Amino acid sequence: EAGVVQSPRYKIIEKKQPVAFWCNPISGHNTLYWYLQNLGQGPELLIRYENEEAVDDSQLPKDRFSAERLKGVDSTLKIQPAELGDSAVYLCASSWGTLNNEQFFGPGTRLTVL
Amino acid sequence: QKEVEQDPGPLSVPEGAIVSLNCTYSNSAFQYFMWYRQYSRKGPELLMYTYSSGNKEDGRFTAQVDKSSKYISLFIRDSQPSDSATYLCAMIPAGGTSYGKLTFGQGTILTVHP
């Protein structure tokens, strides 16, 4: 069974440029999560989708971050414009259902903003 | 103060040692407790999952939960160099506004040297 796929794995951009990350969850998983992981910290939830609906986006900085999951399968997270402080690893995870079901994580996209 | 505090480490132990990793939490709504392992440049993977006070054993790993003290631990027996990774505790509340939201500790870097 294929795991969670993320691309690109690495991205280097200059500040004020836009950037987008893509995630394809495990087949059949209806819940998709985007997390931010700063160096030396645990992941922090940015947004959670149940199918196409964003059910928790309270931690997403909406002035510069946006996300979509149009057909309830793959998802895109965008930052526009990027700031130096956005340098981090962006993790995507998926699960069947929510609450206490195991979340499976992708390898992440490591973003460096210069 | 963060909801979940984890001993930051890093820990360096010889092969065969017993390792103890610990987290404390402040939110009494947390009902589900997990330990994730994260290798360098990889996403976290679930190691242990418990939902009640007491011990749960899986091979060389034992997860311990003490809800009265709001304290959880992971013990690794006969540690191996392949156990070298970052270990993250994580918790989910069963109710409230953060229903279903996974909250991580900051992680402990473990190195097991031959």
Residue B96 pLDDT greater than 70, yes or no:
no
In Å, how far are A12, A66, B45, B71, B112 from B82, measured between CA atoms?
Answer: 31, 38, 14, 26, 8
- Cα–Cα distance, A25 to A33 (Å, whole number): 9
> Mind telling me how many Å the CA of B45 is from chain A's nearest CA?
7
Helix (H) or strand (E) holding A55: strand A53-56
CB B106 within 8 A of CB B8: yes
- Cα–Cα distance, B47 to B42 (Å, whole number): 14
Residue A109 pLDDT greater than 90, yes or no:
yes
> Mind telling me how many Å the CA of A40 is from chain B's nearest CA?
7
| Residue contacts between A and B (CB atoms, under 8 Å) | 55
Question: What is the per-residue pLDDT for B94?
Answer: 78
CB B47 within 8 A of CB B54: no
Summarize the confidence of residues A67-94 as an average pLDDT: 95
> Mind telling me how many Å the CA of A93 is from chain B's nearest CA?
9
Of residues A44, A102, A105, nearest to B43 (C-beta): A105
Q: Does B71 touch chain A (CB under 8 A)?
A: no
Q: What is the mean pLDDT of chain A?
A: 93
Question: What is the per-residue pLDDT for A113?
Answer: 97
In tens, the pLDDT along A4-46 reads 999 999 999 999 999 999 999 999 999 999 999 999 999 999 9
pLDDT confidence band for A101 (50 / 70 / 90): confident
Query: What residues of chain B lie within 8 A of the CB of A105, using their CB?
Result: 43-45
pLDDT confidence band for A99 (50 / 70 / 90): low
Q: Helix, strand or coil for residue B83? A: helix
Q: Does B51 touch chain A (CB under 8 A)?
A: yes
Of residues A42, A98, A110, nearest to B88 (C-beta): A42
- Cα–Cα distance, A97 to A48 (Å, whole number): 11
Contact A40 B107 (CB under 8 A): yes
Of residues B45, B51, B104, nearest to A42 (C-beta): B104
CB A39 within 8 A of CB A88: yes
The strand ranges marked E within chain A are 5-7, 10-13, 19-24, 31-37, 44-50, 53-56, 65-68, 75-79, 88-95, 104-105, 109-113
- Cα–Cα distance, B108 to B75 (Å, whole number): 13
Q: Does B43 touch chain A (CB under 8 A)?
A: yes
Residue type, B50: T
Q: Best mutation site among B25, B42, B101, B108 for testing chain A: the one with the most A CBs within 10 Å?
A: B101
Contact A42 B105 (CB under 8 A): yes
In tens, the pLDDT along B26-73 reads 998 898 999 999 999 999 999 999 988 899 999 999 999 999 999 999
